[in-house]
């Protein structure tokens, strides 16, 4: 039976470390402030934004919310971001995705100053991650790394399979595992032998968005299984990409959904905001 990796507990440890760092900065008269921009009325985005603001309150980071109506134009949003880029009080800028139709997400991300890009989505930060010389790590993959490290399982030399190749999760996740000397395989919707590839994974990371895609017969005995997926079932329940009930019989370690990767994403955002404040005050 797999050991459950408790993302809630580990994320709380990270947030307490961040809280200490915020206190130290306050003693040096440095305040830490995150601007959170939300456009439109997507209920899931509202929940995420509220959770991020709660985390800011907990660790002592000031959060400034900019809630814009659904009909906001791309130019209006870009103008706000440019204003936040110039504002010395703001250390980090987070634009909650997805954005309403008609707004080009790529353009929005590229407008955020790389020094304030606490999601690490800007091409400059993505490039820095590629060469292993970065200030920020993207929140979800960095959170997954902390969860994997918490198991004590050595990463070096292990076969890591990442299912999903998105710019925000799959690709950076693969890069972080490569930096840790894992041998990495990336799978996607065109992978023909997904089951066979997954069966060889010592560390399996699912970032797809399909409930129960990963079943017990795809998992190697004792593997570390990290479930990034967040799927809403017809009954309203939240579940991951991994069939938790059956996979926990085979895996060595497994993250639950909820209570696994999700809280780590927010904890890393707090870490990145403090890093931004430190870099800007050097």
Question: Which member of 229, 251, 256, 270 binds ligand NAP (CB under 6 A)?
Answer: 229
Residue closer to ligand NAP (CB basis): 183 or 191: 191
Total interface residues for ligand NAP by CB under 6 A: 25
Is 52 an active-site residue?
yes
Contacting ligand NAP (CB under 6 A), which of 189, 200, 217, 279? 189
Which of 15, 115, 117, 119 is flagged as catalytic?
119
**How many C-beta neighbours within 10 Å does residue 118 have?**
27
Buried b (16+ CB within 10 A) or exposed e, 194-214: beebbbebbbbbbbbeebbbb
Of 183, 191, 215, 246, the residue at the interface with ligand NAP (CB under 6 A) is 191
The residues, ordered by sequence, that sit 6+ positions from 260 with a Cβ below 8 Å of its Cβ are 5, 7, 147, 226, 227, 240
The verdict on whether 96 is a catalytic residue reads yes
Residues for the chain: how many in total? 282
Per CB under 6 A, which of residues 127..166 are in contact with ligand NAP?
140, 163-166
Question: In the complex with ligand NAP, which residue's Cβ is closer, 83 or 188?
Answer: 188
Q: Does the protein bind ligand NAP through residue 209 (CB under 6 A)?
A: yes
Q: Classify the C-alpha dihedral 198-204-205-210 as positive or negative.
A: positive
Task: Based on the shown chain and the rule CB under 6 A, indicate whether residue 193 belongs to the binding site for ligand NAP.
Answer: no
CA 123 to chain centre: 17
Active-site entry in 96, 115, 220, 271? 96
Q: Which stretch binds ligand NAP (CB under 6 A): 10-18, 67-75, 123-131, 226-234?
A: 226-234
Distance CA 70, CA 72 (A): 6
Q: How far is the CB of 263 from ligand NAP (least distance, A)?
A: 8
Give kind and range of the element (H or E) at residue 204: strand 203-206
From 228, 269, 274, 277, residue interacting with ligand NAP (rule: CB under 6 A): 228
CB of 255 vs ligand NAP, minimal distance in Å: 9
Cα(35)–Cα(219) distance, integer angstroms: 41
Determine which residue in the list 265, 268, 272, 275 makes contact with ligand NAP, applying CB under 6 A. 265
Locate 134 and state its tokens: 């970065």
**Member of 10, 182, 208, 219 binding ligand NAP (CB under 6 A):** 208
CA distance 80 to 84: 6
Q: Residue 77: phi, psi to the nearest 5?
A: -65, -45
8 Å CB contact between 181 and 150:
no
Does residue 256 touch ligand NAP according to CB under 6 A?
A: no
Shortest approach of ligand NAP to residue 225 CB, angstroms? Answer: 14
Q: Does 168 bind ligand NAP (CB under 6 A)?
A: yes
Phi, psi of 36 (to 5 degrees): -115, 120
State the residues that interact with ligand NAP by CB under 6 A. 140, 163-166, 168-170, 187-191, 194, 207-210, 228-231, 261-262, 265
Catalytic residues: 52, 96, 119
């Amino acid at each position: 039976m797999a050991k459950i990796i408790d993302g809630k507990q580990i994320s709380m440890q990270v947030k307490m470390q961040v809280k200490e760092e915020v206190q130290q900065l306050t003693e040096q008269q440095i305040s830490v402030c995150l601007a959170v921009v939300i456009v439109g009325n997507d209920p899931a985005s509202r929940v995420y934004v509220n959770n991020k603001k709660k985390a800011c309150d907990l660790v002592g980071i000031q959060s400034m919310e900019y809630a814009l109506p659904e009909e906001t134009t791309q130019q209006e949003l870009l103008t706000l971001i440019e204003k936040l880029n110039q504002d010395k009080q703001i250390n980090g800028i987070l634009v909650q995705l997805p954005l309403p139709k008609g707004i080009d997400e790529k353009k929005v991300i590229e407008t955020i100053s790389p020094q304030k890009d606490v999601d690490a989505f800007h091409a400059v930060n993505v490039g820095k991650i590629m060469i292993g010389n970065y200030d920020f790590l993207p929140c979800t993959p960095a959170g997954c790394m902390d969860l994997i490290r918490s198991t004590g399982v050595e990463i070096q030399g292990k076969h890591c399979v990442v299912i999903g190749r998105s710019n925000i999760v799959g690709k950076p996740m693969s890069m972080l595992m490569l930096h840790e000397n894992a041998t990495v395989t990336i799978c996607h919707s065109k992978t023909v032998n997904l089951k066979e590839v997954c069966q060889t994974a010592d560390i399996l990371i699912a970032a797809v968005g399909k409930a129960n895609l990963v079943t017990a017969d795809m998992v190697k005995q004792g593997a570390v299984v990290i479930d990034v997926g967040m799927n809403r079932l017809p009954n309203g329940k939240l579940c991951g990409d991994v069939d938790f009930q059956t996979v926990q019989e085979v895996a060595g370690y497994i993250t639950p959904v909820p209570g696994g990767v999700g809280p780590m994403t927010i904890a890393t955002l707090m870490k990145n905001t403090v890093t931004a404040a430190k870099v800007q005050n050097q």
